[in-house]
Amino acid sequence: MIAELIKEAARGCIAEEVKAQLMFGKVTQASPLAVTVENRLVLEGERLILGKELEKREVSVTFGEETQEITLHPGLQAGDTVILVRLGGYFYIAGRLSAGE
């Protein structure tokens, strides 16, 4: 009986449904970023949310008097297959499944 009351109270605090959809896409353009889903839907601009782990990262390293730029992560490239989570009108790029050509 008490377990049922707790469950009912929890249902009242949390939304019944979270409308999220898992999708796969292919990066068609790296800059500005564009992703095509199912060869029909092109996503770009503010609709795409990119995690920091997928952004291009470079650092400057100094050896003696010489400074050199080193790429730690190349970021997404054309041809990469990515996994997306659709939340309303926005698409979060959750990760890269395979590197492009």
Which residue type sits at 6?
I
CA atoms within 13 A on the CB side of 30: 13
Tokens encoding 63: 């050896």
Each residue's pLDDT tens digit in the chain (101 positions)? Answer: 555 656 666 666 655 566 788 899 999 998 899 999 988 889 988 889 988 888 888 899 998 899 999 888 888 999 999 999 998 889 999 988 876 55
Q: Of the candidates 18, 40, 21, 19, which has an alpha carbon nearest to the alpha carbon of residue 85?
A: 21
The predicted model scores a pTM of: 0.68
User: Rounded to an integer, what distance in angstroms lies between the CA atom of residue 33 and that of residue 70?
Assistant: 22
